[in-house]
């Protein structure tokens, strides 16, 4: 056997050994926690919302900060964009919207919501990010279309007649949304009240309009 042939055989054997080591060193997929396997039976969507909230308008509004009609409207606008691709035990578009609204209403941590909805915190993070992104894309042109000078004059007159506020074309307020600090974010999301937050602006451009527009919501959720 020549030296070159022996060298080639040695290299092939070495590569084969590496493949065997790589095969055995691969991490097995982690098993799903029993807590999350009971989502369809014990999660808030089934145990609380479907069984108790849908029949009581006051409790429903207290939970979602929207009434049933408003929730149905918002869901119809974004449903196609957040519909799961795989229907086998998938989280429905309706449940994703409930989860996101509850996060905005209470500022609960993803960990806390995971216990209630029986969904892992990492997946809740993805759901909230995606739903907020779609809400902004779909609702912004619908609820706040480009304004003309006549629109501003009409709004100004309405604020003057109903609120006695001159030269006003809108009202703005903010909501502190409690979050769990992202990794390596330092003090970026901290505030003087010793918790981490995002600040969501709410803008009203019409008096009596019960559907507030999230006009400035950072993407760093």
How does DSSP classify residue 218?
-
Query: Residue 133: its pLDDT value, please?
Result: 92
Query: Residue 124: its pLDDT value, please?
Result: 92
Closest to 202 measured CA to CA, from 70, 65, 97 = 65
- The whole-chain average pLDDT of the chain stands at 77
- Pair 151, 157: CB distance under 8 Å: no
The band of 217, judged by pLDDT with boundaries at 50, 70 and 90, is: very low
Q: What CA–CA distance (Å, rounded) separates 107 from 200?
A: 11
The band of 78, judged by pLDDT with boundaries at 50, 70 and 90, is: very high
**What residue ranges in the chain does DSSP mark as E strands?**
171-178, 197-204, 213-216
Give the pLDDT confidence of 104-114 residue by residue, as tens digits. 988 888 999 99
The contacts of residue 81 (CB under 8 Å, 6+ apart) are 134, 137, 138
- Pair 170, 151: CB distance under 8 Å: no
Give the pLDDT confidence of 159-199 residue by residue, as tens digits. 888 888 888 887 777 777 788 877 877 777 777 777 888 77
The band of 4, judged by pLDDT with boundaries at 50, 70 and 90, is: low
In this structure, of 3-17, 74-88, 157-171, the range with the lowest mean pLDDT score is 3-17
Model pTM above 0.75:
no
Percent of the chain with pLDDT over 70: 76
In sequence order, the β-bridge partners of residue 196 are 190
Percent of the chain with pLDDT over 90: 21
What is the DSSP annotation of 136-199? HHHHHHHHSPPP-HHHHHHHHHHHHHHH--TT---EEEEEEEE-PPPTT-TTTTB-TTSSBEEE
Query: Residue 158: its pLDDT value, please?
Result: 85
Give the pLDDT confidence of 112-128 residue by residue, as tens digits. 999 989 998 889 999 99
**Token digits for 113?**
């919501």
The dihedral through the CA atoms of 69, 104, 155, 208 has a sign that is positive
- Pair 38, 32: CB distance under 8 Å: no
Decide if pLDDT at 129 tops 60. Answer: yes
Q: Across the chain, which distance is largest between two alpha carbons, in Å?
A: 102
Query: Residue 193: its pLDDT value, please?
Result: 73
What is residue 215's three-state secondary structure?
A: strand
Residue holding tokens 């900060």? 65
Give the pLDDT confidence of 24-39 residue by residue, as tens digits. 444 555 666 777 777 8
């Amino acid at each position: 056997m020549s030296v070159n042939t022996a060298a080639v055989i040695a290299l092939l054997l070495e590569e084969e050994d590496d493949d065997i080591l790589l095969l055995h060193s691969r991490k097995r997929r982690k098993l799903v926690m029993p807590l999350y396997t009971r989502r369809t039976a014990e999660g808030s969507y089934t145990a609380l919302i479907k069984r108790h909230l849908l029949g009581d308008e006051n409790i429903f509004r207290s939970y979602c900060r929207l009434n049933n009609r408003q929730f149905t409207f918002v869901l119809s606008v974004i449903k196609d964009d957040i519909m799961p691709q795989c229907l086998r035990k998938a989280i429905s578009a309706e449940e994703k919207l409930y989860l996101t609204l509850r996060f905005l209403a209470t500022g609960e941590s993803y960990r806390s919501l995971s216990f209630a909805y029986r969904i892992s915190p990492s997946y809740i993070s993805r759901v909230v990010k995606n739903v907020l992104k779609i809400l902004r894309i779909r609702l912004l042109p619908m609820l706040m279309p480009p304004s003309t000078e006549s629109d501003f004059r009409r709004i100004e007159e309405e604020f003057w007649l109903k609120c006695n506020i001159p030269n006003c074309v809108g009202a703005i307020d903010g909501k502190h949304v409690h979050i769990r600090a992202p990794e390596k974010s330092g003090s970026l999301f901290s505030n003087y009240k010793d918790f981490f937050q995002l600040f969501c602006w709410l803008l009203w451009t019409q008096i009596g309009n019960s559907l507030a527009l999230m006009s400035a919501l950072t993407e760093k959720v």
